[in-house]
Amino acid sequence: MRHEVMFAGFGGQGIMLIGQMLAYAGMNEGKQAVWLPSYGPEMRGGTAYCIVQVSDDPIGSPVVANPMNAAVMNRPSLDKFGPEVKPGGLLLINSSLIPDTSKRTDISILNVGCNQIANEEGTGKAANMVILGALIGATKMVKPKSIEDMIEYQFGKKGKRKLVDINIRIFNRGLDIGKTSVKDRK
């Protein structure tokens, strides 16, 4: 089984970070993983994206033109990558910053108010954890526990216990949204 996802948003939203956390989580489960960043002449506030693949078998092409899953955190990313999602795939949209949604009917669309949910839990900075949670909930790409371990690793090493707890809480809010969406579709 091979999973692929493209995360996209603007620089500073933690797009690269959630991509890396997912890749590490996959690796820690003993799977193959590839994280491929965009690294153009980027600037703060510019578009950033990365592609992550997690697979039981060796991964061939690190480049994926039409990903099965995409998570877009801002408007330009929706315009750019929304049309690229593979038919039958899943598109997660950060509805806090993107008032519109995709008009495609050949894919599943999940609108998640990432910034709003993160703000409710106390920090808008962790909107990326909401979308990561929703993705994991909807696709079961890796075990939620593996991501929680990565949150522990990522924020715990800075000695910030509070940050670990809050990020895990926010991640789990996203996770529930993802899981519920799958039930609703059935």
The Cα-based distances of 83 to 26, 103, 142, 148, 169 in angstroms read 27, 10, 25, 31, 32
In the block, residue with structure tokens 């949604």? 101
Cβ closest to other proteins, residue 21 vs residue 112: 21
Name every residue whose Cβ is closer than 8 Å to that of residue 94 and which is 6 or more positions away in sequence: 9, 71, 72, 73, 74, 112, 113, 114, 115, 127, 131
Please identify which residue in the block is written with the tokens 């809050």.
166
Beta carbon of residue 167, minimum distance to other proteins (angstroms, whole number): 21
Nearer to other proteins by Cβ, of 52 and 73: the residue is 52
Under 8 Å CB-to-CB from 122, ≥6 apart: which residues? 166
Residue with smaller CB distance to other proteins, 150 or 177: 150
Return the SS3 of 83. helix
Minimum Å distance from CB 41 to other proteins? Answer: 7
Least separation in angstroms between residue 142's CB and other proteins is 14
CB of 62 to other proteins, least distance (A): 6
User: Considering beta carbons, is residue 141 or 166 the nearer one to other proteins?
Assistant: 141
Residues at the contact surface with other proteins, assessed by CB under 8 A: 20, 23, 27, 32-37, 39-41, 60-66
